[in-house]
Structure 1
Amino acid sequence: MKRRVLFVCTANSARSLMAEALLREMAGDQFEVASAGTQPEKPHPMAIQVLEEAGYSVDGLHSKPLADLEGEHWDYVITLCEKASQECGTVCQPAQQIAWDFPDPVPAGRHATFALTLKEIRERIGLFTLVHRKQTGMKPENFDPVSIFKALGDELRLAALMLIREQKKLCVCELTEALDIPQPKASRHLATLRDAGLLDTERQGQWVYYSLSPRLPHWLLRVLDETSEGNPTLIKTELERLAAMTDRPVVRFI
């Protein structure tokens, strides 16, 4: 049975909405997720923007008052700011109360601040899901061949993955240029590849870069190597478009 997680912050306009979207896509097979605010406002446009840019679905995301949800059963109540933690007290008992404290990106109003908050929350949720797996005895990450080949069974997704394999790291703007598709479409395909465990993301400055996951099993790396070697023209056109890109961002390899 899925555990139920409620994220809470003051306005439910940025941090808790980000956390809801992230956990739903990162571990929606393990958790039912919602978010709420002690003083809810409308979702902040920049919070929605950075989620979409990183390839996360924002369907159904909306701000809600805590009072509408605290009567339900929750396994975890996670507050994302000190103010919400103090105001919530011990709501939704007997839920496990967890207090995280992330600075509110709204006062700064800068894209980079929202993007950094998203990155930090994603890292914390990654740790949360890892601890949950250990506590419940769940098996470690499994690269199921059926799921992998379903993700790769699309011409654009296969081309994107092979481009990233060839170039080591690429951002969405580079992939939209190479694949000749709109940014939202590229982000959706990248999200599918990431959700299958094939890609990792890393922010450098204003750009989110995609790279092959370092956790890919050897059998899958061999498949990608042999696909490239056996099909030398597979991404020839895409690489030419990428090489012709005049305003290409500069990536630092760390």
Structure 2
Amino acid sequence: MLSVLFLCTANAARSQLAEAIVNQRYAKHFIAYSAGTHPKGIDPRTLTLLTQQGLSGKALSSKTIQQLENQLQRQKGQPVLFNFIITLCDSAKQECALLPNDAAILHWNLPDPAAENGDALFEQVFVELELRLAEFVRFNHNPAAALQIAPIDVFKQFSDNTRLQILMLIEDEQRLSVNQLCVALEESQPKVSRHLALLRDCKLLSTTRKGQQVFYHLNPLLPKWVAQTLSTTRVANPSYINQPITRIRELANPNLTTPFVNQD
């Protein structure tokens, strides 16, 4: 079970909402806590909104970081270590640096709904927290299940045009051979093989053999953030590999060489 601490100034709204969302929607993987650098008590609108969203606020309380740590130390009989600390305002961001912890730290600077009249900002912040927490859980709920690849190693591969094209082509086509890639990129076999070897060494690609043919495909154990980065890059740059894709199609079917004609 991974632990996450949400921090904001007053521990009145943002951090309380985040704690409730995680503990009641993602309890399979996480246990969440919240605290404030200068707690002021829970805003009644926080509890009202949670009820409207089908969540309970009964277990929530407003407290300082020290009060939370003392409480958890009494319960567990040992110093408290959090896997993640997520600060929800700039003030808490500055003060969390003082915590004696090796936690992974994220900063989401959300507006304080308790500082304004009405419920509109509460609802807006709740929706924002839902979106951010869903993404956070997706990428962090089971870190041991995926390969551990350093971001610098991934972006080194992305920074080379040939290797990026290879990755995008394989992301599109699922699996490709050295011969197909040579035709697509109009590069020599030694050069393509050298790039493929680098991609295998950093575990971005794996291979499957079919008869005498070796096919390259994305490593099925890729961390989700790596797979999404590649997918997003492909979708956001749809024409980047147009010509290599066309060459692969022509290799598979030489008759597909006539360009489309506008019939309008």
Give the alignment's TM-score, normalised by structure 2: 0.49
Are 1:90 and 1:97, in contact at CA under 8 Å, matched by a contact in 2?
no
1:73 aligns to what SS in structure 2?
coil
d(CA) in 2 for partners of 1:81, 1:96: 17
Q: Report what 1:54 is aligned to.
A: 53
Task: Tell me, in whole angstroms, the C-alpha distance in 1 between the residues paired with 2:99 and 2:130.
Answer: 24
Q: 1:87 aligns with which of 82, 91, 95?
A: 95
- Contact 1:10-1:84 at 8 Å conserved across structures: yes
Alpha-carbon contact 1:81-1:99 (below 8 Å) kept: yes
Question: C-alpha separation between the residues in 2 aligned to 1:84 and 1:99?
Answer: 9
CA contact (8 A) 1:36 1:66 kept: yes
2:80 — aligned with what? Answer: 72
Gaps of 5+ in 2: 70-78, 147-264
Corresponding residue SS for 1:36? strand
- In the alignment, which residue of structure 1 is the partner of 2:11? 12
Residue pair 2:29, 2:142 contacting (<8 A) in 1 also = no
Q: Show the counterpart of 1:170.
A: none
Aligned to 1:130: 138
1:99 aligns with 2:98: no
What is the DSSP-based 3-state SS (H/G/I as helix, E as strand, rest coil) of the residue aligned with 1:128?
Answer: helix
Cα contact 1:74–1:92 (8 A) shared by 2: no
Residues in 1 aligned to 2:106 and 2:100: alpha-carbon distance in whole angstroms: 12
What is the CA-CA distance between 1:107 and the residue it aligns to?
1.7
- Structure 1: where are the runs of 5+ without partners? 139-254
Equivalences for 1:114-129 in 2 at 5 Å? 114-129=122-137
Q: Name the structure 2 match of 1:160.
A: none
The offset of 1:14, in angstroms, is: 0.2
Cα deviation digits, residues 151-199 of structure 1 (max 9, x gap): xxxxxxxxxxxxxxxxxxxxxxxxxxxxxxxxxxxxxxxxxxxxxxxxx
Find the counterpart in structure 1 of residue 117 from structure 2.
109
- What is the letter of the counterpart of residue 4 of structure 2? V
Counterpart residue identity of residue 11, structure 2: N
- Which SS does the other structure have where 1:69 is aligned? helix
Tell me how far 1:109 sits from its aligned partner: 2.0
Q: 1:130 to 1:92 in 2, by over 3 A?
A: farther
Residues paired across the two proteins, number? 137
- Tell me the TM-score normalized by structure 1: 0.51
Sequence identity percentage = 34
Greater than 4 Å deviation, 4+ residue runs:
none
RMSD after superposition: 1.6
Residue 94 of structure 1 and its aligned partner are, at CA, apart by 1.0
Q: Is the 8 A contact 2:29 2:141 kept in 1?
A: no
Deviation sequence 1:185-238 (CA, Å, 0-9, x none): xxxxxxxxxxxxxxxxxxxxxxxxxxxxxxxxxxxxxxxxxxxxxxxxxxxxxx
1:72 and 1:108, CA in 2 relative to 1: closer, same or farther beyond 3 A?
same
Larger-gyration structure (1/2): 2
15 and 28 in structure 1: CA distance in 2 versus 1, 3 angstrom threshold: same
Deviations 1:55-79 (CA, angstroms, capped at 9, x unpaired): 1111211101111235511111111
Question: 1:90 Cα deviation (Å)?
Answer: 4.6
Shift of 1:23: 0.6
- Cα distance in structure 1, aligned partners of 2:41 and 2:16: 11
Q: Displacement of 1:125 after TM fit?
A: 0.4
Q: C-alpha displacement at 1:9, in angstroms?
A: 0.3
Q: Higher mean Cα deviation, 90-99 or 2-11?
A: 90-99
